[in-house]
Amino acid sequence: MKKILILFLMIHIYSFGQKNIIVKIDHRIEAVSIFYTLATMDTLDTKPTPSIYYKQFNQYFTDCKNHKSLDWYRNLKVWDGYDLSSIGLYLSDKYPFKLKIPYSDNQLRSSEINVFLEKFNAFYKDCKVDAFLKAHKTDYAEIVEFTRNKIVASNLLNDAEKYYNKPTQGEIIIFIDILNNLGSNAISIDDKIFKRKKIFKLAYLKDKNIVQTNDSKVTFIPLSNVVIHEVSHLYLRDFIPLYRERLSKKKNIFLVTAKGEQLKEKEWENELDELIVRVCVSKIMGEKYGPATELKEVENQSKHFKYFKELNLFFNNYSQHKSKYKSISDFYPELIDYLETLN
């Protein structure tokens, strides 16, 4: 039990209203991230953000880079995305890893979960991943503490709560993914363990404003728009399920990008979700940092989303008149009516 507590680092912060914010480096997420990074590092253009930790990671796993489990993964027809490490939350607390929570999500697309776990467990044992994680327990504690302080000081979660004004009982859990320099993601797990919990995983993205080398400490300063983005997914995740039948009749308009690119039909829900979330992010960023910041977000997002500018203007009906609504949910009927007018 003590080993689990060492590796399952947890910081509690009593802010964000009356709720509990928890920042973690979870040993299961980190282990899957190690596997994925080693398997893909010679192919993917984007490498982990340079740091002493990344240098030590490379040194420790030098002799394991051609492990049979990694070669198995490399030879699969389809690879998974940066959200793969999220499956760690479904696993038992220690090796050999088994499913503790039934898995039916879509982070793992490359193979069946049982096959993946067989290969992953072999890698974990042969490459002594457990020893690497234990050797860095002090580093993990420092990273968690540093990140916690930055998030609290930013007041970003309070900004999001103020904007959506939606009841959010329970905890917000933020997982740090140190080797992930690709992207962050919200996590939704339908299990009593995570009931009333809002979960998202933050990538350690390279910061263009500072020099980061393999002699640099991990200084995890989450980007404002990234934190607000991932939290927003959790606040808005009930919109599409509520109106799926009506929205599906308009799905084709969400499958064409600003550049005229035609997306696959199965992507329409994700595209719509991203569109709404990113519009709300632009509004929150504007309220926090001023109109110029909102305009920059609009310009950037309009490069992909065909209706971003229009929807951003429409959301003024909510942003500028929030006293009319108990929460963002009360704005949903107007939002669905507006989306049905797009063509």
Which string of DSSP letters, residue by residue, matches 288-329? HH-HHHHHHHHHHHTTT-TTHHHHHHHTHHHHTTGGG-SSGG
What is the pTM (predicted TM-score) of this model? 0.79
| Higher local confidence (pLDDT), 340 or 197 | 340
Tell me, what amino acid is at 221? I
Q: pLDDT-derived band of residue 6, with 50, 70 and 90 as boundaries? A: very low
pLDDT for 168: 59
Summarize pLDDT for 269-290 with one digit per residue, the tens: 999 999 999 999 999 999 999 9
Q: Which of 56, 25, 46 is nearest to 216 (CA)?
A: 56
pLDDT for 234: 82
Are the CB atoms for 87 and 111 separated by under 8 Å?
no
Summarize pLDDT for 202-225 with one digit per residue, the tens: 999 998 888 999 999 999 888 899
pLDDT for 209: 85
Distances (CA, A) of 195 to 87, 170, 173, 188: 17, 8, 12, 10
Q: pLDDT-derived band of residue 16, with 50, 70 and 90 as boundaries? A: very low
Q: pLDDT-derived band of residue 17, with 50, 70 and 90 as boundaries? A: very low
Tokens for 82, please give them.
Answer: 């940066």
Summarize pLDDT for 69-114 with one digit per residue, the tens: 999 999 999 999 999 999 999 999 999 999 999 998 889 999 999 9
- Quick check: 120 pLDDT over 50? yes
- Quick check: 131 pLDDT over 70? yes
